[in-house]
Every structure is written in C-alpha cells, then in structure tokens.
Amino acid sequence: MKIIEKSEVASLTTMKIGGVADRVCFPASTEELICLMDSVRSGNEPWSLIGGGSNVLVSSHDIPGTVICTTGLNWIEQIGRDLLFAGAGVRLPRLSAYAAKLGLSGMEFFEGIPGTVGGAVVMNAGAHGHSTSQILESVTILNLKTGKIEVLTHKDIQFGYRMSSVNPSEQIVICGRFRMLPDTEASIKSRMKENNLARQRTQPIKDPSAGCTFSNPIEINIPAGKLLDSIGAKNWRIGSAQVSSMHANFIINLGNASSQDVCKLITKMQEAAKEKYNILLKPEIKPIGVFDKSEAIIWTNSDQTVTSSFIITR
C-alpha cells in the first residue's frame, strides 16, 4: 500500500485546496483497506475518506491522522451481458467510456463528472435528469461497526436527491454493481458527447472547483444556480475564492484560495438567499479536516449530518 507522510491534500482535490495531512494512504485492494481501517480504529486515530476529490472542501488547516484515498480501488469487470462491477476508486468518465465500448447504455450522464464510484453511490450523483440510483443494483461495503464485508442491494439503500443512506463514516464503499441496457456504441457515445458539450457550455470546467456548491432547494422549484444568479452572486469574491461568472452555483479557486475564503463566501451566499427567498441553501460539498466553528456553520446551520470522520470544529 502506498503511504505518504506529511502530504498536502490539495493535490487530491478538484478545488486544489487542502492542508497537510499526517499521512495519506492509498489502499489498492479490499484486504489493504480492511487492514488499514483495523489499524486506524484500534489506535483511535482520526481519519478521513476521499475519492476523486470532487464535492469536498478540505480544510486549509493541518489535517490530523490519516486521509484514506480510494483511487487505488480501480478495477472494472463485466460480470454479465448487462452487468458491470466497478471499484470505489474508478473515475466516472472512465467507467462511462468502458460501458460505451461494450455497447452498454445507462452511464452516459457520468461523462464529465469528476468523481468516483464510491462518491457517486454515497451522493447519488447525477446529471441531465439521471442519477446513480437508477443503474445501481448493489454495493459492497466495509461495515465499520461489524468489521465485515457486506452487500447492500438497491432495496437496502434509501436514495434521495444527491444523497443516499450509505454513511461513509460507518460504511466504506468498496465496489458497486451496475445494470445496464444494450445499445450501439455510436448512439451511446453520441449522448456522451452531448452531455459533455452541455457541461462545457454551462459550467466552469477549466477552473478548479468542487462542483456544485449547493443542492437545489426543495422548497421552491428554482435551481440553486438560477436562484443565486437572481441575487447577483456571480463574480462575488472573498480572497481568492470567487463565484463563477458562468454558473452561480460554482465557486472557483483563482489560484490561492483557502478553505476560510470559501466558507466566508458560502456564508455570504446563504445569507443573501435567506434574505430574499427565506431559504437556507444546503451545501452539496462535504467537509474534510479541521474547521473553526465560524466556518463549520455553513454545514451545521443547514441541518447537514456532519460526523467526526469528516469535520472537527474548534
């Protein structure tokens, strides 16, 4: 297993923000993951989990304990005519391309999403009117309460908009099993291209960001991006963190942004939305590391479930 001591975590994230972790570990098999978690938990050591590094905000403070990066769990296997097995660390565009070559449809919406299978399961990732729950048949997890490997079927998991009942502080995703539909490779790749072009037209994909900052509010039928655009949030800036001029639900790193900059900007966006629409926008991005209470309020005030595996306030 690859282990890096005193490693900057910023390079593992799409937003390029993050402090120095005591160590970063890259388990490359289920056995290595189990041994690592046994060691970490027996020593009562703080730990955090990261996949592709999207949809997360890593604190610029030093990160105590171990950061576990799952990108080494990157196998893909066809286990039936229309079934694919994929490790938690497989990048979603790679999985989508793999399925296309086999003439299997259903993952076209993964094209362009910078996350991994594990994150897609936990977040019920989606785009273009599709979501992970529509194709996920089962997920294999390491149950940290029992220390055992378990298989959760679709009916064992509760899914919602950008969420699932899979709790990564207790259930670490090892791999997912996906059921697809047959189609021609040309048709599948055509849809993938359309999805990619739509993303390029509407999102700042060339700028470092964590993806969408907020989940779309369920209280009103207005996407978070349009809501924030209506209050003039585009180009708001604190430090080197700026709301994208292309899409108001994206915060980009202009080059030297800190997690403090991002949290202050998110707070400003939440306050403005609350004042105009009486809605508290809930961050879609998840915290990793040590955050001051004034920073953590962006999650705790919006009823987010935040565990010690992901955030430590001080």
What is the secondary structure of 215-241 as a DSSP string? PPPSSSSS-HHHHHHHTT-TT-EETTE
Neighbours of 45 (CB within 10 A): 13
* Greatest mean pLDDT range, 77-81, 158-162, 232-236: 232-236
pLDDT higher than threshold 70 for residue 136: yes
Q: How far apart are CA 223 and CA 120, in angstroms?
A: 20
Task: Tell me if 213 sits within 8 A of 298, measured CB to CB.
Answer: no
Give pLDDT, residue 225: 97
CA dihedral over 7, 9, 12, 15, signed as positive or negative: negative
Lowest mean pLDDT among 28-32, 247-251, 283-287, 310-314: 310-314
Task: State the first-to-last Cα distance of the chain, in angstroms, to the nearest integer.
Answer: 32
Check whether residue 64 and residue 91 sit in a common domain. Answer: no
Asked which of 38, 72, 106 is the last residue of a domain, the reply is 72
What tokens appear for 237 in the block?
Answer: 């800036």
Give pLDDT, residue 302: 65
* pLDDT band per the 50, 70, 90 thresholds, residue 161: confident
Q: How far apart are CA 288 and CA 251, in angstroms?
A: 17
pLDDT higher than threshold 80 for residue 71: yes
Task: Tell me if 51 sits within 8 A of 88, measured CB to CB.
Answer: yes
pLDDT higher than threshold 70 for residue 308: no
Calculate mean pLDDT across residues 266-270. 97
Mark 12-22 as b/e (b = at least 16 C-beta within 10 Å). Answer: bbbbbbbbebb
Give pLDDT, residue 307: 45
Check whether residue 243 and residue 183 sit in a common domain. Answer: no
Please count the helices (runs of H) and the strands (runs of E) in the chain: 7, 23
Can you give the residue range of the structural domain that contains 122?
Answer: 76-190
Check whether residue 65 and residue 82 sit in a common domain. Answer: no
Calculate mean pLDDT across residues 39-53. 93
Read off the CATH number of the domain in which 27 is found: 3.30.43.10
pLDDT higher than threshold 60 for residue 313: no
195 belongs to a structural domain: no
pLDDT tens column, 5-29? 999 999 999 999 999 999 999 999 9
Residue 41, helix vs strand vs coil: helix
Check whether residue 138 and residue 54 sit in a common domain. Answer: no
196 belongs to a structural domain: no
Check whether residue 238 and residue 152 sit in a common domain. Answer: no
Task: Say how many residues make up the chain.
Answer: 314
267 belongs to a structural domain: yes
Residue 304, helix vs strand vs coil: coil
Vertex 247 angle, CA 244 and 250, to 5° = 60
Check whether residue 96 and residue 64 sit in a common domain. Answer: no
Tell me which residue of 84, 108, 61, 249 sits closest to 176, measured CA to CA.
84
Number of domains making up the chain: 3
Give pLDDT, residue 53: 95
In the chain, pLDDT over 70 holds for what percent of residues? 96
What is the DSSP secondary structure assignment for residue 248, as one 8-state letter?
T
pLDDT higher than threshold 80 for residue 281: yes
pLDDT tens column, 168-201? 999 999 999 999 999 999 999 999 999 999 999 9
Q: Containing H/E element for 268? A: helix 259-277
pLDDT higher than threshold 50 for residue 60: yes
275 CB burial (10 A radius; 0-12, 13-18, 19+): exposed
Q: How far apart are CA 80 and CA 178, in angstroms?
A: 10
Read off the CATH number of the domain in which 181 is found: 3.30.465.10
Whole-number average pLDDT of the chain: 93
* Contacts (Cβ under 8 Å, ≥6 apart) of 16: 10, 208, 253
Check whether residue 157 and residue 170 sit in a common domain. Answer: yes
Check whether residue 54 and residue 122 sit in a common domain. Answer: no
Neighbours of 183 (CB within 10 A): 16
- 281 φ, ψ (degrees, to nearest 5): -65, 135
199 belongs to a structural domain: no
Check whether residue 150 and residue 250 sit in a common domain. Answer: no
Check whether residue 224 and residue 164 sit in a common domain. Answer: no
Q: How far apart are CA 51 and CA 11, in angstroms?
A: 12
What tokens appear for 104 in the block?
Answer: 């299997």
Q: How far apart are CA 141 and CA 138, in angstroms?
A: 10
Calculate mean pLDDT across residues 76-103. 96
